[in-house]
Structure 1
Amino acid sequence: MKQLSFALLAGAAAGFSVSEQLSLFESSPRDDSRPYHDATQAWWDSVPNTDSMLSSFEENMAAAIDSDYTGPIDSSIDLHPGHGGHHGDVTKTIYELIKESKYTQKFSELVDEFDEIKALLEDTEKQNRTLLVPTDSAWERLPDGHKPPPKEFVLAVLKYHIVPGRYPLGRVLHSHTLPTELDLPNLGGHSQRLRFRIGLFGARINFFSKVIAADVFAKNGVIHALDSILVPPPPTKKVIQLLPNTFSTFRLAMETTGLGEELDSDETEHNGGTLFAPTNRAFARLGPRANAFLFSDYGKKYLKALLKYHVVANETLYSDEFYKGPHHDDDGGGEPLSEETYIFPPLKETHSVDLPSLLDEKPIRVTISRWRGFYSMRVNGRVHVAIQDGLAGDGVIQVVGNVLIPPHKHHKHHDHDEEFDVEDEEGVAERLKARLEPYLETERGSKSSSGLSLGDL
């Protein structure tokens, strides 16, 4: 377990490049969910907020924001040219293959410490599984000399590398997200997911981890090899903190209004959630006058109302799956269809979902379109989701390039922010104030008692 010292963050933060294709699995001589949830969150809480640790990750995020590219599907991709995509040994289990391979010794040694994980990888009766295994070279890049994390955290990491079901690479690439064996209470007991995309440099998981070998078939599933370690994602609050170049304004807004502290309270029920997180650029588009108003002492109550329209509690909407409320044993482990968990059918054109925001449950309409492997998500018909499926330990983050404007309080339609032209800097602050005024959580008669107007700012 000492292999999992300090730098699981390094594995989570940076993509390691491995140029050669390896014949990884030729036989060769050997060279209750709460405890691990608490251990995972405690580990992330101990991570210092430095500029360097997640620089590579944030660069990938920024590049994604500037592009509509979300990954075409190429089911013919073969990371082992010349092998026809078929290697491994279908007479052996996943556990036996990683135990025999000279490239996966470190991971198999960790598996041996946990009977629960070993049993999953040896199981040939209940369910096939897909293992995403870091090669030994991924572990060798981690620095030595740091205190190992608790066993509960290591168990969570191992579970996060195992996907229920058999997913060859072609099937993986037809999915934007996939469940894992890691179930988290702050996701309502649902499976923590993995994010898959394919781009110019191959298939990547959770932005940073690269698939370097694929389709190693076993008796009870399939194995894909990775160049880095997958770490269960931190809570939403920590994700925002770790990406200041993208979310510093949003973080300041949450802290200024106290909404972040309210959402993080132990008294608040956590069964997942969806956060539509505006980027720094999104706030800048409102103009300096509107921002000066919102971040003033007088304006922060308006800012809080605005932020509430970006938060959905207890409903977690990914681009290809919807967790609604807590998971129940009779949900079939995420199989369609149930009242609590709904997995979208294959999308031919579009599918829309209305999510109740924290702002008087005013709906946020999300329209998801799929065409030949491309996914597009739009909010209220106009706002593009710049980065889809940002994973968090307590939900999902959908990154938006514009601040969402709530509807008029007594309107029910969704395409309600079309009159907000952010280029009209002279008028946007006044119109924003007028739009948010009816939502303010103030006593009757106090809204206009101060006599302060936007012109005083």
Structure 2
Amino acid sequence: MWSPTLLISVLLAAREGLSSQLAFGVDTPARSSYDSKTISNQTVKDLPVQGDDMSTNAETLVSALSSSSQHTIFIHLLQRSKSIPMLAHIGNATVFAPTDQAWTDWADRHHPDRSLDGEHNNLAGGWLGHEGLDEWMRDEEDILRMRIAQSGMAEEEERRSLDNQNWALRQHLLYHILNYTLPPLSFIVSSSSPSTRKNISIQTTLLYPQAQEPIPPPTPEPGPPWLPRGGEGLLGGHGQRIRLAKGGSEEGRQRGKVGVDWEGNGGAVIWDGTGWEERGNGTLDVENRIAGAKWVRNGVVVGIEAVLDMPVSIEEAIKSHPSLTYLSHILPFDSPPSPLPSSFATTPHLTVFAPSDEAFSVLDDIEKGYLEGPYGEEGVGRIVAESVTLGVGKNCVGWSDTLSSKALGFETASGDELEVMVPADGRLVVNGTEAEIIDIYASNGVVHIMPNLLLPPNFTLLNSAEKMLLSLNATRFASLLRSANLSNTYIGEDKKQTEAYTILAPTDDVLDQMDKWRGTYRVPIPEVWATPEADSTALTGLEPFVDVSPLAALLQYHIIPGRLLPEDIKDGMLLGTELRTSALGGERQRLRVDVTETLGRDRIDWETVGEGEVRFGGATVLGKPVKSGKSIIYLISSLLSTPDDVLQTAVSDLQLSTFIAAVYAAQLEKAVKHTPATTYFMPRNRAFNQLGLTMKYLLLPEGKDDLRKVIKYHAVNEVVYSSDIDVGKKIHKTLEGGEIIVERTKGKNSSVLLRSPVRWGDHDSGDNSLPANGELRPARVVSDEEDALTNTGVIQTIDSVVMPADVEITLAKLLRGSKQSTMMELMLRAGLGWILEGREPSGEELQKVQLDGKIATRDHEDGQQPERGNEGGVKGLALPSYTLLCPSDKAFSRLNITHYLSEPEALLKLLKLHIVPSTSQPFNARQPASTTAQPRDGLPLSLDDDSVYSTLLSSESKFGDVAFRATGDNSFIVGIRGARGSGSREGESARVGQGGRGSVRWRKASGSQSTVTIEKKKKDKGIDHSDDEEEEKKLLWNGGMTLGGGVLMIDSVLIPYQPSWFSRWGWLVLTLSGIGVILLITVISVVWWYMTREKKEEEDGARYEPLEGEDDE
């Protein structure tokens, strides 16, 4: 007779063999915790049996379920899903049957919202509607008729919809069924399996997940009812996995659980069995110990107290897991980027080694910003693709229990390989890193959670400047570069970039703010410029130069060739950008750098560059710069604007308003705006004011030609930046046609000077030291206002006007500028027009004005013309020149003009008193005599307090000199030297007003004598005239030239002084009268003394009488 141990072993072996024969799937049950050999080797006392009798059970799965009062809902659902025939036909199965209470609780938790009836797939699990389980407890035909009546749809459509729900319900129920019968020891722990791995078994269900219901065949297939077929579904032909925790273990608690996770958490507790009609029907005592299970002829029914939810897709698993929130946040599931699979919900047999939230902590904020941004999908795809396997082996899923302890190579979606192994302790190790969580089952694969990013050693997330911009919240700027077809050139992948660039990128916040104020902000929103595409020929240097589109030009202005590090930044730098335009002759447009000086800081570094001290083109640098490959990126606070045209740039500087007015007066605005590659040296308003009457004349219609020359002479036909000017002199060609000298002085505080050359056509100073225009003081570039960038070049501000040498400014022009006509008319009437015209007079003209023999004439025997003249330009300008003291018309209105018109000689003397020849040396009683100093800017005479000048009347009258006195308010009063009066008489003095200087006069060629023969009074002037050559030298600047005279406006007419009779003889009369009076007084005094003495003697004699007895002697 057989022993009980042998009988149990034979019975279990026979049952296992029968199960294997009747199983119709390709799967076999997992053997992680159950093995027949293990059971056969157990002794009887190891099994918790209560008796030795074995009985035959004739019940089936369906009858067992029907006999339970707690499984009526489960039976109805099996009927509605047409699964009853399947259970009746199946040879071996394990059914996990939720109780009625479990179904009710599940339906309550998953009840769809009635307000979303019209929404797509508003069904829990694809089958439970808002009516809940009640709908499934009724007859299917009744439900169909009700739906047709409510929706009005055709029966065929409603039946198809109902069939879809039945299919979804059947899928759900199949997850509760195994295609083999589990033995009792699969539900209870034994003394030989204390470990967690042995207490949790992995089983295979009849659920073969599919993306959608398969199309049924046109005619029903012959044979038994529908059964699930192996080889289908999203798991590579495998059934879905489920875990079972044994009762009596820490994981399974007292009765065991079904559907737990890899650590034994969760799951449905096995039912306590209250509800079976019969108890103790098991063939073994161990079966009777599992109260919630009933073994029958074709399997086992295991009651559970909860409904098992089918594993969701990998997409839903990632979205719902608390350790994968960041991955869920950055991964675009709707359209996963390449090389990821097209869907994480329907792509079959995926194995995902998902990086946890902690794994992404190795990325810095910039890299995370890129991944989280709208353009970070590419980076997400490259990172996640290193963790996704499209299939292990031949389209298999990488469940941990299918792997071995030997390292295997898994090819990822990116093409790289992962080294995966499962040691004997059940841990999953990938590339040497142990997984945090393993085997999260999904409908289309499995998810393992890793604590690290599985990236190859040479992986770089931000491998281009474009991606770096996207991560720095400069996505709109990067998008604009793409719109202008510039992204590949400047921000492409690092490995394709051969040049380094410095990129100045405004953030999205800046551009968004511009959108907000686009109605008033002066910089147009760049998107409106994106219509024309960039012309590639503009970047190749081909001729003719073709400009890029406005958008491309704006963006190129934000890119500087080379990598500019913070320590290389200096205040005042003019950096060449990638913007090249035809307006600059194909040269780079410059960008100004401003650095605010901070005490105690020698230079800018990585830490301080973003503290608001550095500005590119007026935009402040925000934060630290970021390197990207060979390039570097600075975030800036505003969008840069390319430089405006010359006039628009100059208008922003109020000190240049006079130059702008002059440009429009000369009708040169178009030429100034559009002349390419030009530098304008613009004088400030003060410089033009110093010209006085000269500027007023130039602004007159008749002065337009001369004004054009002046303006063009300040324009150099090349771009001259201050930083490019070397120490020394350099001659530049101007738009006027002449040349101008630009000079940088030596020394630490060097200056940039501007002056006329020493030669200009026929004009030559002779000794190579004097400028051709006669201005000894050069113009100076204002250092605080240099290098104002324009779209055609640059503007340099200077402090004085540089007059072209070929612009002739005569006294007549200055008088027209003053708009005072009376003085001009009187001089013409008196025959002094040659002074106004600035020419040498004829003998007849000199005779008429009584200057013959005193001024050389044109027909002089030496009659040599001055060097200054030329055939097409200025003619007849020679020594001497004259300064005219011009009373205003209002001053003349107070004079009896009729008297002077009727007395030509008086008129001539009046006018001569107002004419100062350039040969007149100023005499100052307070200072020693010296050579002539240069007058103040724009004035024809050097004015100092108590300076005295001779006039044309000085040779005829003792009172022909004029004297100047400073009034203390930077103005002067002029009067007749030596004139005596009350001070209130009209004509004694006048206040000096505005002046104007004429063109300079050059000395005649060597060997010719000075044309000046005016006799000047030498008395009290402290000048030695013994040497004529020395005297002539003193009349000239550096022995080469003298001022060209000019006009000084005065507010009163100076009337020639005529001393009175008393003034002539009064002193003599008074002196003689005084002498006579003194003599008379002396005589009278002597006579009086004599008479007084005699009388006194007589009186003394009368009073004396001789005494008695005296004898007369």
TM interval, short-chain normalised: 0.5 to 0.7
The 3 A distance-change label for structure 1 pair 291 and 363 is closer
Query: Quick one: distance in 2 between partners of 1:132 and 1:292?
Result: 47
1:116 to 482, 486, 499: 486
Shift of 1:230: 0.8
Distance, in Å, in 2 between the alignment partners of 1:24 and 1:306 is 59
1:95 corresponding residue in structure 2? 466
The equivalent position to 1:149 in structure 2, one of 528, 531, 537, is 528
**Cα distance, 1:157–1:227 mapped onto 2, change above 3 Å:** same
Name the residue aligned to 1:30. 373
Matching of residues 247-326 of structure 1 within 5 Å: 247-264=656-673, 270-287=675-692, 289-313=693-717, 315-321=718-724
Cα 1:173–1:432 change in 2 (3 A) is: farther
* Shift, 1:251, TM fit: 1.0
Asked if structure 2 preserves the Cα contact closer than 8 Å seen for 1:90 and 1:219, the reply is no
Per the TM alignment, residue 385 of structure 1 is displaced from its structure 2 partner at its CA by 2.8
Could you tell me which residue of structure 2 aligns to residue 185 of structure 1?
582
SS in 2 for 1:115: coil
Measured in 2, the distance between the counterparts of 1:222 and 1:271 equals: 32
Contact 1:183–1:189 at 8 Å: present in 2 too? yes
Decide whether aligned partners of structure 1 residues 456 and 293 sit closer, same or farther in structure 2, where only a CA change above 3 A counts.
farther
2:205 is equivalent to residue 205 of structure 1: no
C-alpha distance in 1, partners of 2:624/2:668?
Answer: 44
Per the alignment, residue 231 of structure 1 pairs with 641
Distance 2:805 2:934 in 1: 11
* Contact 2:367-2:461 at 8 Å conserved across structures: no
Alignment correspondent of 2:730: 353
Query: 2:779 touches 2:798 (CA, 8 Å); kept in 1?
Result: no
Report if aligned partners of 2:646, 2:791 keep a CA contact under 8 Å in 1.
yes
Distance 1:167 1:219, change over 3 A: same
Distance 1:202 1:106 in 2: 25
Aligned letter for 1:122?
G
Matched, 1:379 2:379: no
Q: Secondary structure at the match of 1:98?
A: helix
CA pair 120-233 structure 1, distance change in 2 beyond 3 A: same
Aligned mates of 2:574, 2:551 — CA distance in 1: 22
Provide closer, same or farther for how the CA distance between residues 420 and 222 of structure 1 changes in structure 2, counting only shifts above 3 A: farther
CA-to-aligned-CA distance 1:236-292 (integer Å, 9 cap, x gap): 13323x426232211110111223344457xxxx440111112223323334x3332
Task: Give 1:408 shift.
Answer: 7.3
Structure 2 letter corresponding to 1:115: N
Report the residue type matching 1:149 in the other structure.
V
Who is 1:132 aligned against?
504
TM-fit CA distance, 1:164: 1.0
**1:393 equivalent in structure 2:** 791
- Distance (whole Å) between structure 2 residues aligned to residue 213 and residue 358 of structure 1: 45
Q: Distance in 1 between matches of 2:504 and 2:614?
A: 12
Change (3 A) 1:136 1:180: same
Asked if the contact 1:247/1:279 (under 8 Å) is kept, the reply is yes
Aligned to 2:58: none
1:189 to partner: Cα distance: 0.9
Q: Rg larger in 1 or in 2?
A: 2
* CA distance 1:115–1:297, change in 2 (3 Å): closer
**CA distance, structure 2, for counterparts of residue 384 and residue 456 of structure 1:** 31
2:581 aligned partner, one-letter code: L
Letter in 1 for 2:373: R
Distance 2:365 2:579 in 1: 26
Q: Which structure shows the bigger proportion of residues in strand conformation?
A: 1
Q: Deviations over 1:140-183 (max 9, x none)?
A: 33235658532232221111101111111222327721111111
Q: Is the 8 A contact 2:504 2:635 kept in 1?
A: yes
Please state how far the C-alpha of 1:359 moved relative to its aligned partner. 3.1
For structure 1, list consecutive stretches of 5 or more residues without a partner in the other structure: 1-22, 32-88, 322-343, 412-417, 436-452
Percent identical residues: 23
Q: What is the SS of the residue equivalent to 1:305?
A: helix
Instruction: Give 2:680's aligned amino acid.
Output: L
Q: Alignment RMSD, CA only? A: 3.5
The one-letter code sitting in structure 1 at the alignment partner of 2:664 is E
226-235 vs 107-116, greater mean Cα deviation:
107-116
Query: 2:787–2:796: 8 Å Cα contact kept in structure 1?
Result: yes
Q: Distance in 1 between matches of 2:579 and 2:798?
A: 28
Paired AA for residue 190 in structure 1 = E
Which residue identity lines up with residue 237 of structure 1 in the other structure?
L
Instruction: State whether residues 357 and 364 of structure 1, in contact with CA within 8 Å, keep that contact through their aligned partners in structure 2.
Output: no
C-alpha separation in 1, matches of 2:694 and 2:559: 47
* 1-structure distance, mates of 2:365, 2:554: 22
Residue 213 and residue 405 in structure 1: after superposition, are their counterparts in 2 closer, same or farther (change >3 A)?
Answer: farther
Measure the CA separation in 2 of the matches of 1:191 and 1:244. Answer: 24
Structure showing greater relative contact order (alpha-carbon pairs closer than 8 Å, 6 or more residues apart): 1
1:169 paired residue number: 566
**Residue 629 of structure 2 corresponds to residue 219 of structure 1:** yes
Classify 1:184/1:104 alpha carbon distance in 2 versus 1 (closer, same or farther; 3 Å): same
Please name the residue that 1:405 is paired with: 803
**Are residues 1:243 and 2:809 paired?**
no
Which runs of 5 or more residues in structure 2 are unaligned? Answer: 1-363, 375-459, 520-524, 531-548, 598-611, 756-777, 808-866, 869-932, 943-993, 1002-1045, 1051-1113
Shift of 1:354: 2.4
